[in-house]
Structure formats: C-alpha cells, structure tokens
Structure 1
Amino acid sequence: MLYNHAEIMGISFLNIDREVLYNGIIYPKLRQQQKQFFVTANPEIVMLANEQPNYKAIVNQADYILPDGSGIVLASKIMRQPIEERIPGFEVMTHLIGYAEEEELGCYFLGADELVLEEFIKRIKQLHPNLVISGYHHGFFDLDDQQVVDDVKQSKADMVFVALGSPRQEQWIVKHYESFNKGLFMGVGGSFDVIAGKVKRAPKGWIKLNLEWLYRLLQQPFRWKRILKVFHFMFRVAIKRY
C-alpha cells in the first residue's frame, strides 16, 4: 500500500498516524517475518544528513522515516505538507516492546555503555517480565565487528533496537542489513539512557506544549549547540519556503 509522505530538505517523512503505522505496517510485517528499517528523524538528523551526503544516502535507504520532533511537524506546515502526527522514536520503541511481550516476539538491544545497558535490561525485565530478550550488547565496538553481527543474527530477534546515536546507528544498520533474514531494525538514540534512569525525559505537559527541547536544554546545558541546530533548521526551511 502507498502511504502519504512529506518531504523536508530532501528527507521523505512517512505522513500517517500511529494506528496506521502499527496496524498497517509494523504488525503485518512482523507476522510475515519481513525485514523493516525505520529511521526516526528530528531536525538535528535532517541537518546532519544535509551536511553529510553519505549519511543522507543512508537515511534515505530506510523503508520508513518517522517524524520525531515538533520541529519536523512545524516545518511540514511551513512547507504546506502538514504531517498528521509527531511519532517519537522513544514512544515507538516502548510501544513495540510491550507488543513483543504480548506476542512472544524476541527483542535485541544494541548500544549504550555497559553500566547503562545493564541497568536498562534490569529495568526492562521489571516492566516487562515476560518479554523475550533475545540478546544485548554494549555500543563500544567497531562498526565492522563481525562478532556483534553474528550475535544479533544468531539471536533470531524479531526486533533490533540500536542505540548508538546518529549517524553511527543508521550506519551500522545499513552496513549489515543484508546479513539478516528478518527483523525490525530501528535506531533509538539515547532511549536506553532514559529507561535506565540516566537521562530524564520531559514531562508529558512539556511534550504536549512542544517544549521538550527546552526541558532537555535545562537538564543538559551542554546541549546548547545541538539546540542551535534546530533553530538553524527552521531558518533553512523558512528560507526554502519563502
């Protein structure tokens, strides 16, 4: 089935709501054991993709690119291609973990440092005691490390969540995607850190007001350069539109 898309700075975003995403795309492909590669792109990733052509080519190899960030939704309105709904990667991951527990599907978790990963796995086991954890591995390895690829492959996981940060997580997925016969692959950035308790996610009220970026800045002042990229992104979008 063909779905609507919205193009922003050369990145084609899937323009659907979550119900269609889950029931129309993800669940059927999981049942049929078809591979699927998701990128959840925020303004920072779009900017990075436009600064690095090789990375842009990698992002555009994804089967689906999800609009992660209020800046993407706002940009789509400026470009007169309004996106239906912001779909944060963190929320997709947590939803799919719950679905995996219900359907007895296996999950592999790749990324973060060893201490964060151990705490993350501990927390996941508390939240989802019946989840099939096919395997996990920290994120400190070379992208060409075949042992990591073999471990993921031998786990026969139905979902592989890769928390290496961008662009590394997408680079790893694309580099080894053909090695796998099945599985949903998605880069999830710092999601393991949030669940492990190392980083706090913005309260729901802040998220509803599209102020998650401000909450992050207040919690982590060193992120100010990354926040500036969001403003640069909006400026670029406005210039292109007007």
Structure 2
Amino acid sequence: MENRLLGNVKVNVTNRNEILSKITTRLNEKQKTVILFLNAHCYNIAQKDDIYRKHINASDFVLNDGIGVELGAKLFNFRFDENLNGTDFTPQLLEAAAISGDSIFLLGGQPGVAETAKTKLERRIPGLKIVGCSDGYFTHSQKIVEQINQSKADIVIVGMGVPLQEKWIYNHKDLIHSTLFVGVGAYIDFASERIKRAPSLLRKMRMEWLYRLLHEPKRLWKRNIGSLIFFYYIFKNKSRKKRG
C-alpha cells in the first residue's frame, strides 16, 4: 500500500484484499482507525475547506472513488489498482465484519432510513450484527455518542454527506469506544433502497453518475458540473508542484 498525494490531498493506492486485511488486523488490535473515500466532489470541497482537507490527510486510509480521481492520478504519474468506491466497498467490509464477529452502528440518513437499512442488510449478509442505528438529523451529538458507546459497536458507519460526516467523526471519535469509523456518504440510503443504484451494466461502464443525475437532477447537477472544476484544481495543483 502506498500513500500518494493528488496535489494537496492524500489518497492510498491499494486493492480491496489488501485494505480488508489491514482493517481486520487493526480491528483485532483495537487500533482506532478512520477510513474515508475521495471522489472528484470531495476533492473540490477539500480545495475550499481547510479543515475537511486536514481530516482527509490525517485519516488512516483514503480510498479512491470514481473515474475522476483515477484520471487525476494519471496526471500526477500514478495509477490505482482498482476503483474502491464506498458504495461497493462498504458491503464487502460488512461481509468481512460478519465473518469476524465485529458489530456495526449505522449513523445517517433521514429518520427511519438507517433502521430500514439495518433490516435489509441483516437479511442480505448472514451473521451481520448491527447493534444500533440513528438518523443523521440529530441536534445533540452527546446523546449519539452515548448511544454508540452503549451499543458497544466495533464499527461506526457514518453517512451524513461530505464534509459533515468527516468533521463529525474527527470531533467525536476520541469520545467513542468503537475502533473503526467509515465515512460512507449515501451508502445508508442505498442499503435501505430509498435511493436505487444504477443497473449493473451502467456501473460497469462507469456511468452510475449519469443515472443518479437523471434521478436526482436538483441535488446533483452542481456536483456533476463540478467535474470541470475538479480538473481545474488538478491542473492548478500540478502547476504548483512543478513550481515548488
């Protein structure tokens, strides 16, 4: 596994077998760990939000999500082994947790979504132990921290959107007894089936972004226009690197 810089933002070059092995080891050794995902939208936010960028760069593992960062990496003369987007990787992490006996807390989504995701995930993944869940629309973090600690969850899956979920994790992880924290964006919505994923053919063609844009145009049109902004930042940071 390598740590690389995509300009001013850290990302890991790894594959799912290697990262799952490292996560398992850290869980067994009770090493507090943060996993985040980096896509073009995240990168754009990181250029404007210094605190968010600091959290990404301080994370134990930052996994590449999508074709944007894949193309960006080539401009910085490195490449990824495979696409490790959170929506596909998180179920594999949960399957590994079911085998190892590690327990899960789901945090995020609208009221009722995490509970629905819990039911559906436990049906799909034999042996999965989801010991607690909460929506992401709370006003008192202390109560959520207490709820997670009372659940004795080993892994906290946080789906509150970027950069809120990352800031929440870093503001509270030292108060929480859990070992692994994963910022997963919309994964809890996908797991609950409140939001449908693109057909597998579109996913294989790396065009899930288009499917989501057509289904949620009001929410996602700015993000997809942001792909152009992403490459502006990539070239800007590459230019800085050359001058430096």
Fold conserved (TM > 0.5)?
yes
1:203 corresponds in structure 2 to 199
Please tell me the residue identity of whatever aligns with 2:10: S
- Structure 2 residue aligned with 1:193, among 189, 195, 214? 189
1:171 corresponds in structure 2 to 167
* Structure 1 alignment gaps of length 5 or more: none
Residues 219-234 of structure 1 mapped to structure 2, 5 A cutoff: 219-222=215-218, 223-234=220-231
Q: Distance in 2 between matches of 1:167 and 1:97?
A: 23
1:130 corresponds in structure 2 to 127
Secondary structure at 1:60's aligned position in 2?
Answer: helix
Matched, 1:184 2:180: yes
2:81 corresponds in structure 1 to 84
Q: Distance in 1 between matches of 2:55 and 2:138?
A: 20
CA contact (8 A) 1:40 1:88 kept: yes
1:215 corresponds in structure 2 to 211
Cα distance, 1:129 vs. partner? 4.6
- Structure 2 residue aligned with 1:11, among 6, 9, 12? 9
2:91 corresponds in structure 1 to 94
Range 182-191 or range 119-128, more displaced? 119-128
Cα distance, 1:182 vs. partner? 4.0
Q: How many residues align?
A: 238
2:141 corresponds in structure 1 to 145
Q: Distance in 2 between matches of 1:151 and 1:140?
A: 15
- Structure 1 residue aligned with 2:20, among 6, 14, 22? 22
1:62 corresponds in structure 2 to 59
CA contact (8 A) 1:9 1:50 kept: no
What TM-score do the two structures reach when normalised by structure 1? 0.92
Q: Distance in 1 between matches of 2:209 and 2:228?
A: 11
Cα distance, 1:26 vs. partner? 0.7
Cα distance, 1:154 vs. partner? 2.2
Q: Distance in 2 between matches of 1:154 and 1:119?
A: 21
CA contact (8 A) 1:67 1:88 kept: yes
Residues 98-117 of structure 1 mapped to structure 2, 5 A cutoff: 98-117=95-114
Please tell me the residue identity of whatever aligns with 2:171: K
